[in-house]
């Protein structure tokens, strides 16, 4: 599969595709899991026989802000894209608003219904379908609580990224049910993150939950290191987190998400109506435990938690 990479610029030159279908892909940000999913997407299209003679793919990773996301989608409209593939909830929402009835296939959206992106999981409606990355928040919180009773949970989230907000709301509901308190910090800049970490790590929280957001994902090493210095474990749904030292994660497989998106784009190019294709949910979900981090924090991980985990870092 031949992939043409366009860098962001003020002026685009409209290329000639000589009858090939044009698939335009946009990543919310340049984080690892989106790149992995896109590689799997490209590979799946090739396996479906959609090589460079039939499909041209262009990719953009704009600045991580609403104006840049919207401008990118408008540019995709202007060059006559046949399908738009979006990675992450923020840029998917921009595509829903800006795409001129062009079919949209989204990838790695936490809670498509909760974010307002789709009407339902079985019949998404409008001009889109895609792959959900939503997994049960209760599974992650229960695993953490079984390791160490949660009395207070710190949360780092970004109010400008809808998936992050959905995760925050889910934790609030669980906190009310399970009887623990929540300390929330809305972070959308590096200085805000530094301030939040200083406050959180001295507030007596038992865990810090790193919600899905571009800033927090890019700053995972800092978040985990600062928390470890104060003896506080980090939990998350972000796939990179456990490998970087988080204690517990519940994560979907980025490669599988890309494969599913590739299958959906192939189906749409064969005239299947995207709004009638159910939203896919990946089957490969890992409850991951980092025993090295547990030892560093002098935390005992009960055998029942290890038995229920599918990935253990020793």
Confidence band of 291 (pLDDT split at 50, 70, 90): very high
Report pLDDT for 287: 97
- Percent with pLDDT over 70 in the chain: 93
Q: What is the C-alpha R_g of the chain?
A: 20
Contact 286, 250 (CB under 8 A): yes
Contact 287, 308 (CB under 8 A): yes
Report pLDDT for 275: 63
Contact 266, 277 (CB under 8 A): no
Report the mean per-residue pLDDT for the chain: 91
What tens digit of pLDDT does each residue of 167-187 get? 999 999 999 999 999 999 999
What tens digit of pLDDT does each residue of 11-50 get? 344 444 456 899 999 999 999 999 999 999 999 999 999 9
Assigned CATH class of 137-251+286-313 = alpha beta
pLDDT higher than 80, residue 195: yes
What tens digit of pLDDT does each residue of 54-78 get? 999 999 999 989 999 999 999 999 9
Query: Which are the contacts of 90, defined by CB distance < 8 A and separation ≥ 6?
Result: 28, 64, 66, 69, 160, 161, 162, 163
Report pLDDT for 240: 85
Confidence band of 120 (pLDDT split at 50, 70, 90): very high
Q: How far apart (Å, rounded) are the C-alpha atoms in residues 60 and 84?
A: 11
Report pLDDT for 12: 42
Q: Please provide the CATH number assigned to the domain covering 3-133+253-284.
A: 3.40.50.2300
- Terminal-residue alpha carbon distance, the chain: 38
Query: How large is the average pLDDT for residues 90-107?
Result: 94
CA angle 17, 20, 22 (to 5 degrees): 75
Greater model confidence, 6 or 203: 203
User: What pTM did the predictor assign?
Assistant: 0.90
Query: Which are the contacts of 181, defined by CB distance < 8 A and separation ≥ 6?
Result: 151, 152, 153, 175
Report pLDDT for 282: 85
User: Cβ atoms within 10 A of the Cβ of 228, count?
Assistant: 18
The closest of 271, 198, 251 to 21, measured between CA atoms, is: 271
Please indicate whether the domains covering 3-133+253-284 and 137-251+286-313 agree at the CATH topology level.
Answer: yes
- Percent with pLDDT over 90 in the chain: 84
Confidence band of 92 (pLDDT split at 50, 70, 90): very high
Greater model confidence, 20 or 204: 204
Helices (H), the chain: 32-47, 66-78, 89-98, 137-147, 162-178, 190-200, 214-218, 220-229, 254-269, 291-296, 303-308
Report pLDDT for 51: 81
Confidence band of 6 (pLDDT split at 50, 70, 90): very low
Report pLDDT for 236: 98
All structural domains of the chain with their residue ranges: 3-133+253-284, 137-251+286-313
What tens digit of pLDDT does each residue of 242-272 get? 999 999 999 999 999 999 999 999 999 887 6
Structure tokens at 289: 């435990």
Contact 132, 80 (CB under 8 A): no
pLDDT higher than 80, residue 280: yes
Confidence band of 274 (pLDDT split at 50, 70, 90): low
């Amino acid at each position: 599969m031949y992939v043409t990479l366009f860098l962001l610029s003020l002026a685009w030159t409209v290329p000639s595709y000589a009858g090939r279908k044009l698939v335009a892909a946009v990543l919310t940000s340049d984080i690892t899991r989106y790149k992995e999913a896109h590689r799997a997407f490209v590979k799946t299209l090739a396996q479906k026989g959609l090589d460079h003679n039939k499909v041209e793919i262009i990719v953009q990773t704009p600045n991580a802000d609403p104006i840049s996301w919207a401008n990118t989608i408008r540019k995709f409209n202007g060059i006559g894209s046949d399908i738009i593939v979006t990675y992450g909830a923020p840029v998917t929402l921009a595509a829903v608003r800006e795409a001129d009835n062009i079919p949209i296939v989204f990838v790695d959206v936490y809670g498509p219904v909760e974010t307002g992106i789709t009407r339902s999981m079985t019949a998404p409606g409008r001009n889109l379908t895609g792959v959900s990355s939503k997994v049960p928040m209760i599974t992650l919180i229960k695993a953490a609580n079984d390791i160490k009773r949660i009395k207070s949970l710190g949360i780092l989230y970004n109010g400008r990224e809808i998936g992050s907000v959905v995760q925050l709301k889910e934790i609030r509901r669980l906190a009310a049910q399970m009887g623990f308190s929540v300390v929330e910090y809305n972070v959308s800049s590096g200085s805000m993150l530094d301030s939040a970490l200083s406050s959180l790590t001295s507030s007596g929280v038992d865990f810090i939950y790193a919600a899905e957001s571009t800033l927090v994902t890019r700053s995972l090493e800092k978040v985990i290191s600062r928390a470890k210095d104060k003896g506080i474990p980090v939990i998350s749904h972000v796939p990179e987190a456990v490998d970087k030292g988080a204690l517990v994660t519940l994560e979907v497989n980025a490669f599988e998400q890309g494969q599913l998106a590739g299958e959906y784009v192939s189906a749409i190019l064969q005239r299947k109506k995207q709004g009638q294709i159910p939203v896919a949910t990946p089957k490969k979900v890992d409850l991951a435990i980092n025993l090295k981090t547990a030892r560093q924090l002098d935390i005992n991980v009960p055998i029942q938690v290890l038995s229920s985990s599918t990935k253990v870092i020793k």
